[in-house]
Amino acid sequence: MTRLKLALEEGFQDDYVVVLADGRMIAEETDVTTRYQISLARLVEIDLPPGTTEIEIRLPEKGLAGAIETDGSVPGTLRVSLGRDGRELAFVRDEPLRFA
């Protein structure tokens, strides 16, 4: 198992978020809402199955989904935000998580 720190950051509002590893659901979060004073909605630690090649984030109620390929290297951190138009997900991997 590899521990992933997943930061759901900007643009979330009462969202239901599903995390999948290689198509299999490994976590779900409800009522995810960004607190703009720290630019963070939810910080989640997830154990990824060995050999995970794709991590997918879905917001089923908004019809949104996005994924990253791990290329054999599972990220330690993954930051996820909704774009300004609210219609796409943006990912940043392996950056320090720093909020204030």
Partner 1 sequence: MTTPSDTGFAGDSGTTARTTSPETRTQPSEPYVEMRIPEPGEAEQAREAGIELPLIPIPFPVFTVSGRYVYSRAITLPTPIPLPRPLPIERIPIPRPGPGRAESDEAAETVYDEDINAISLYQREEVRFDVDGRYPQMTISGTRSGFLTVAGHWIASVRKTASGSYEGPIWYKDGATGAIAHTHVSAKVTGGLFPASRKLEITFTGGGAAAFTRSYAFESGYHRGVEFEYDRVSNAVAVTSVNTHAHPNRPASLPAENLTIETVFRRAGFDVSVSPGGGVIPIGAAGPDAAWTDQEMHDAMQIHWSRFANKPQWAMWVLFARLHVSGTSLGGIMFDDIGPNHRQGTAIFSHAFIAQPPAGDPAPAAWVERMRFWTAVHEMGHSFNLAHSWQKSLGTPWIALANEPEARSFMNYPYNVAGGQNAFFANFDYRFSNAELLFTRHAPERFVQMGNENWFSNHGFREAAQHSHPDYELRLTTSRADDRFPYLAPPVVEIALVNRSERTRTVSSARISERGDFTLVINGERREARLWMPHMRHCGEGDDKVLRPGEAVYDSAMIASGKNGWDLAEPGRYCIQAVIEVDGQPVYSNQLMVTIESPGSREEEKIAADFFTPEVGQVLAANGTRGLAKVTDVLAAAAELEGNPVSQVAALALATPLAFDFKLLDEGSASGAGAGADTRMGARDAGSGGGRRIEQYKADPKAARKLLERAMGGKAGARGAAKPGSADSLVDAVGHTRFLRDAPVIAAIEKAEVPNSTEAFLAFAADGQKAEAAAALPVSDRMQRLLDAKAAGLTQ
- Residues contributing to the site for partner 1 (CB under 8 A): 5, 7, 10-11, 13, 35-40, 43, 62-64, 82, 84-87, 96-100
Grouping H, G, I as helix, E, B as strand and the rest as coil, residue 61 is helix
Please list, in sequence order, all residues whose beta carbon lies within 8 angstroms of the beta carbon of residue 25, skipping any fewer than 6 positions away: 18, 19
Instruction: Give me the least distance between CB of 98 and partner 1, in Å please.
Output: 5
Instruction: Give me the least distance between CB of 13 and partner 1, in Å please.
Output: 6
| Beta carbon nearer to partner 1, 51 or 99 | 99
| Phi–psi pair at 61, nearest 5 degrees | -70, -20
